[in-house]
Amino acid sequence: MNEHATESETIHDVIVVGSGVAGLSAAVYAARADLEPLVLEGPEPGGQLTLTTDVENYLGFPEGVGGMELIQRGKDQAHRFGAEFRHGSIESATFDERPFELDLATGDTLRTRALIVATGASARWVGAENEDELMGYGLSTCATCDGAFHRGDDVLVIGGGDSAMEEALFLAKFADSVTIVHRRDELRASDIMARRARDHEKISFRWNTELLEIHGTQDGGVTGATLVRHPDGRPKKKLEAGANVEYDEVDVGGIFYGVGHVPNTDFLANTAVTLDDSGHLRTLDGRTTETSVDGVFGAGDVMDPEYRQAITAAGTGSMAALDAEAWLEERAIAGTQSDAVTEVPADD
């Protein structure tokens, strides 16, 4: 790399997009392989772990470890081996020519031979009336960030998976009562998390129920909600289909969404990188991190609709870096560093 080159002239060997556990793990491996990776931190630096309190199932921490601490340690580790970090998000990417070009929201363009996409996933919203207006004003997707504002409140948590249980258990430290609103009558959460929530004296459940409308104002915060219920579950769908549902108005001071996440792949939408129906980056059949564009690799929640664990994200991050390293080496040996891009058809 020429140190006098301007940013857009510099050609990186590897850029890692995303600085959650997958991106950091990729950065550590790529840096140790002397690839001098540049890590683009993205709009949510550190990713989802920064919104978690204790991580109890990451190998090597028998007493658990704070999400923030784990991320900071990963960042320090990547720094130690020479990874560079910069703030920024990709607006659009061009894979038609080599090196790849990444246009940032700031107007800058970055160029790289290999790209590791580790952009993770962001909290899903449920589509209740007034959620746009009240998000951040008593409506939240992050109990660890906003829970302490709800001391003495009655609050709702929407969802039936581990995230919803975790949010509810955290909120129960502050709120007077926590009601988990789930659209079916069976939880998706793991047994251990479900049991903890069920056993908690402040936590109760509303089954076969969904959030239709949120009441409140930005000045006064959330004051209540309209819920709908149908004995067979998924009441909003039943309502759309013209069935009768039960309505219930509740007074609450806060509402927390814990309904899962959507992968952050908007910048790949009009590129040759294949995505699946839910927007996850698709890797080639039988390969862990290679995508439909030769030289673009995926790691972490952005390509994993199934496991979505910190430890699996770290694992695929390291794999993406190893795959990128091998790919760069093969191309260097073959002398094809500036070849035209070849697209690999995604397997069905």
Please give the Cα distance from 277 to 105 (Å, whole number): 26
Q: Please tell me whether residue 158 binds ligand NAP under the rule CB under 6 A.
A: yes
Residue among 259, 268, 319, 324 that touches ligand NAP (CB under 6 A):
259
φ and ψ of 36, to 5 deg: 45, 60
Cβ pair 70, 309 in contact under 8 A: no
266 is catalytic: no
Has 142 been annotated as catalytic? Answer: yes
198 near ligand NAP (CB under 6 A): no
Q: Which of residues 305-324 bind ligand NAP (CB under 6 A)?
A: 308
DSSP for 43-85, please give it.
Answer: SSTTGGGGG-SEE-SSTT-TT-EEHHHHHHHHHHHHHHTT-EE
Contact pick of 8, 106, 190, 204 for ligand NAP (by CB under 6 A): 190
Selected from 188, 196, 200, 237, the binder of ligand NAP by CB under 6 A is: 188
Stretch that binds ligand NAP, among 18-26, 91-99, 157-165, 170-178 (CB under 6 A): 157-165
Helix axes of 191-199 and 162-171: crossing angle, nearest 10 degrees = 30
- For 91-137, the DSSP string reads EEEE-SSSSEEEEETTS-EEEEEEEEE---EEE-----BTHHHHBTT
Residue 96 a catalytic site member: no
Binding segment toward ligand NAP, per CB under 6 A, in 18-26, 33-41, 169-177, 183-191: 183-191
User: In this structure, what are the phi and psi dihedrals at residue 113, rounded to the nearest 5 degrees?
Assistant: -75, -45
Site size with ligand NAP, rule: CB under 6 A: 20
Which string of x and - marks every residue 64-93 that binds ligand NAP (by CB under 6 A)? ------------------------------
Pair 75, 47: CB distance under 8 Å? no
Instruction: Rule CB under 6 A: choose which of 159, 216, 254, 315 binds ligand NAP.
Output: 159
Binding positions for ligand NAP, rule: CB under 6 A? 124, 126, 158-164, 166, 183-184, 188, 190, 193, 210, 259-261, 308
